[in-house]
């Protein structure tokens, strides 16, 4: 907190903004508010320039090596779950996935795309390491489906993906501007990772084709295969993550999700 007062001035009131890392703060002085974060990625500057996150006001490097960033504080709210199907969300995601500036910056920061083949081998390795998971019928079915879907995922255009499209991460300001925040999980990957996650969680299946059309993609069997590949992969990764932490209840919740995904893929695609 001392370094924050040193960067901002003692006249600023500083309070924690919450979050898992504890590195985010709200700074206030004379009716002016800033969102201050410690050691944000340099990626933030490009996101700000592209109008995807609130405007970056300044960046300061402290004597201890920490880097502080201050963003404009905008009054607004998180999107509601049923608002995730709106056209403006599809438009924002299209803008992100087609931004060469974002892609070039992530590449300059050393980010490299992990191929779907590499990710498939990785999840197999993790699952096989745990007898409880590797012998479960639904897990084995999911691995089999992934293997069958894998060819559809190859040679796809790689873009910047947010990888955590939760309604809590979309902020609608009182002026009507929409921002996507919390870019800690961003990667270079198939855009199906993002729109598959959003559609599966927030949009009724009967409306997928219309949403995808607005986004700029025609719903084809190949598109669905790519979506389900990453949804299954993501579910297995979370199952493994919860299992290794002894979180049995959460692991079982993921297993229920996996069962639903398996049934849906088997009945419609595989």
pLDDT one digit per residue (tens) for the chain, 270 residues: 566 666 666 778 777 776 555 577 778 777 788 888 876 778 888 999 999 999 988 888 777 777 888 888 888 999 999 999 999 999 999 999 999 999 999 999 898 888 999 999 999 999 999 998 999 999 999 999 999 999 999 999 999 999 999 999 999 999 999 999 989 889 999 999 999 999 999 999 999 999 999 999 999 999 999 999 999 999 999 999 999 999 999 999 999 999 999 999 998 876
Q: What is the pLDDT of residue 30?
A: 76
**Residues contacting 194, CB < 8 A, separation 6+:** 93, 96, 97, 161, 162, 163, 165
* Predicted local distance difference test score (pLDDT) of residue 58: 84
Q: What is the pLDDT of residue 2?
A: 60
Catalytic residues: 164
Element (H, E) at 160: strand 159-161
For residues 120 and 190, is the Cβ–Cβ distance under 8 A? no
* Whole-number pLDDT of residue 23: 77
pTM for the structure as a whole: 0.86
Across-strand partners of 32?
29
* Cβ-contact 183, 41 below 8 angstroms: yes
What pLDDT does 270 receive? 61
Cα–Cα distance between 65 and 72 in angstroms, integer? 23
Q: Which pLDDT value is given to residue 153?
A: 97
192-202 vs 221-244: helix crossing angle, rounded to 10: 80
């Amino acid at each position: 907190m001392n370094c924050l007062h040193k960067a901002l001035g003692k006249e600023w009131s500083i309070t924690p903004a919450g979050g898992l890392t504890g590195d985010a703060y709200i700074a206030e002085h004379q009716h002016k508010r800033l969102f201050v974060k410690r050691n944000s990625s340099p990626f933030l500057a490009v996101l700000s320039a592209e109008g995807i996150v609130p405007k970056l006001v300044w960046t300061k490097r402290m004597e201890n090596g920490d880097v502080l960033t201050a963003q404009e504080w905008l009054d607004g709210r998180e999107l509601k779950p049923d608002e995730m199907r709106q056209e403006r969300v599809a438009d924002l995601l299209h803008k992100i996935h087609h931004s060469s500036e974002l892609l070039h910056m992530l590449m300059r920061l050393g980010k490299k795309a992990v191929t779907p083949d590499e990710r498939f081998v990785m999840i197999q390795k993790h699952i096989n390491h745990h007898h409880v998971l590797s012998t479960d019928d639904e897990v084995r079915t999911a691995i089999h489906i992934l293997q069958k879907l894998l060819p559809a995922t190859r040679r796809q255009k790689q873009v910047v993906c947010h990888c955590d499209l939760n309604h809590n991460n979309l902020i609608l300001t009182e002026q009507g501007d929409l921002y996507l925040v919390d870019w800690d999980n961003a990667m270079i990957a198939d855009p199906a990772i993002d729109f598959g996650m959003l559609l599966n969680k927030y949009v009724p299946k009967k409306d997928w084709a219309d949403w995808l059309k607005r986004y700029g993609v025609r719903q084809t069997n190949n598109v669905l295969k790519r979506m389900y590949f990453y949804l299954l992969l993501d579910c297995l990764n979370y199952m493994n993550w919860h299992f290794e932490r002894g979180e049995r209840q959460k692991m079982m919740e993921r297993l229920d999700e996996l069962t639903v995904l398996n049934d849906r893929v088997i009945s419609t695609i595989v």
